[in-house]
Amino acid sequence: MNVSTDKKDFWEDYNKRKTWDEIIPGELRPTKEVVLTKEMIQNFARIVGETNPLYFDEEYAKKSPYKGIIAPPNIHVLLMFACTDINDWMREPGTINAGQSWFYNIPARPGDKIKLVCKCLDKWIKKERLFAIHENVFYNQDNEVICSGRGWTIRPR
Amino acid sequence: MGINCAYEDLEIDKQIIGEEIFIKKELPKDFAEASLDYNPLHLDPSWMDKTNFGKTKFKGVIVHGMFTFSIITKMITDWLLPIGGIHRRLETRWLKPIYPGDTITPQAVIFAKKKTIKGNWVLLKVRVTRQDGEVVAEGESMEEFPNNQ
C-alpha cells in the first residue's frame, strides 16, 4: 500500500457499498494485508502533533524498553482504511462517528504485516437515526493481537 | 515481584492537561492524507452545505473525530510513557462537532486505581474542551503499570 496513491474519492464505487439495510451483523468485511512502514507511522504521528522519539528516533527507541521504533497506539485510525477497500461501508460519505473504544495489546512496528478482521456487531434505529457498531481486531504477522476496538456510527443511508 | 513506584505515587484526582491546539483550516485535509479517511464530511464544504443530516446540524466541514481521539492519546502517552506506564484503553464519545478555527484542549483526571493479580491499573476520565468552555468529547482511559520483575 502506498499512502500517497490510495484512493481518495469516497464517491467512487458508491453504489457498490452496503447500505444500512444490507449490512449484516456478524458478517466479515473484506480486508487486505498491509505492510506498515516507518514512513506511514511517522507521517501519521507528525500530523497529530506527536514528538515522542519512540516514533521517530531509531537510536533512542533501540535503547528504550521497546527496543526499536514503534507506532503510536492510535495507528489503527490509518490502518482501518489501509486494510479495507474503496467499497467498504465505513467509507460511506456522511458516516458520522459517534464514539469509539480501543484496547491496546502490543505496539505495531515498522515492517509488521498487518491483518484486520472486522465486522458489524449490531445495528438499530434510534430517534430516526440508523446506527451500526463496527468491531475491528488488528493482528501482526505472528497472529499477535495489536489492538481491538469498536466504533459507534450513524449511517447516512 | 516488586511494587511499581510510579503507580504507588499516583493519587486520585491528579490532573493531566494536554496542549492547547488551534485547528488550522488545512488540518482536515492533512489528517485525511495521514489517515486515509477522505469522508466529504471533513473536506467538501459545498456538499456539507447542501446535505441534510436530519437532526444533526453542521455549519461546515468538521474535524475528524479520530483527530480528537489522537490528541487525547498524545496527552496520555506524553505523561504515561516517561513514567513506565502502558496505554491500554481509550473510549471516547463525541458530543459536539469541532470546526477549523476552533481551539481545543484535552484534559484527564485519575478517578480510580486497581491492583490485579498481575498488574496495577489507573483509570482516567478524559475530556476535550473548546475555546468557549464547551465539552466536545469525553470518555475514559485505562493505563497499566506492570509489577517490577
Q: What is the CATH number of the domain that holds B72?
A: 3.10.129.10
| Chain A interface includes B78 (CB < 8 A) | yes
| Chain B interface includes A77 (CB < 8 A) | yes
Domain count, chain B: 1
Distance CA A97, CA B99 (A): 15
Closest residue in B to A88 (Cα) is B37
Domain count, chain A: 1
pLDDT of residue B1: 53
Q: State whether B81 and A74 contact (CB < 8 Å).
A: no
Helix H, strand E, coil C: the string for chain A is CCHHHCCCCCCCCHHHCCCCCCCCCCCECCCCCEECCHHHHHHHHHHCCCCCHHHCCHHHHHHCCCCCCCCCHHHHHHHHHHCCCCCCHHHCCCCEEEEEEEEECCCCCCCCEEEEEEEEEEEEEECCEEEEEEEEEEECCCCCEEEEEEEEEEECC
**Which DSSP state fits B81?**
G
The arithmetic mean of pLDDT across residues A77-101, rounded, is 95
From the list A4, A72, A81, which residue is nearest B73 (CB)? A72
Residue A115 reports pLDDT greater than 60: yes
Quote ipTM for the complex.
0.95
Left, alpha or beta for A149 (phi > 0: left; psi -120 to 50: alpha)?
beta
Q: Is B30 within the bounds of a domain?
A: no
Q: Is A146 within the bounds of a domain?
A: yes
- Which residues from chain A sit within 8 angstroms of residue B67, using beta carbons? 48
Residue A2 reports pLDDT greater than 90: no
Average pLDDT of chain A?
94
The arithmetic mean of pLDDT across residues B122-149, rounded, is 95
Q: Is B101 within the bounds of a domain?
A: yes
- Segment B95-118, tens digit of pLDDT: 999 999 999 999 999 999 999 999
Q: Is B42 within the bounds of a domain?
A: no
- Geometric angle at alpha carbon B9, from B6 and B11, rounded to 5°: 125
Q: Is A15 within the bounds of a domain?
A: no
Structural domain including B11 reads 5-23+68-146
pTM strictly above 0.90: yes
From the list A54, A94, A97, which residue is nearest B81 (CB)? A54
Q: Is A4 within the bounds of a domain?
A: no
Structural domain including A112 reads 20-155
| Chain A interface includes B6 (CB < 8 A) | no
The arithmetic mean of pLDDT across residues A108-119, rounded, is 98
From the list A6, A48, A154, which residue is nearest B36 (CB)? A6
Minimal Cα–Cα distance from A53 to chain B, Å? 11
The arithmetic mean of pLDDT across residues A133-144, rounded, is 98
Tell me the three cell numbers of residue A72.
503510536
- Which residues from chain A sit within 8 angstroms of residue B77, using beta carbons? 52, 72-73
Residue A153 banded pLDDT, cuts 50, 70, 90 = very high
pLDDT of residue B54: 80
| Chain A interface includes B145 (CB < 8 A) | no
CATH number of the domain within which A137 lies:
3.10.129.10
Query: What would you report as the CA-atom Rg of chain A, rounded to the nearest whole angstrom?
Result: 17
The arithmetic mean of pLDDT across residues B91-95, rounded, is 97
pLDDT of residue A6: 67
Residues 11-40 of A with CB under 8 A from B: 11
Q: Is A12 within the bounds of a domain?
A: no
Q: Is A5 within the bounds of a domain?
A: no
Q: Which of A43, A48, A154 would best serve as a mutation to test chain B binding (most B beta carbons within 10 A)?
A: A48
- Segment B40-83, tens digit of pLDDT: 999 999 999 999 888 778 999 999 999 999 999 999 999 999 99
pLDDT of residue B55: 75
Q: Is B89 within the bounds of a domain?
A: yes
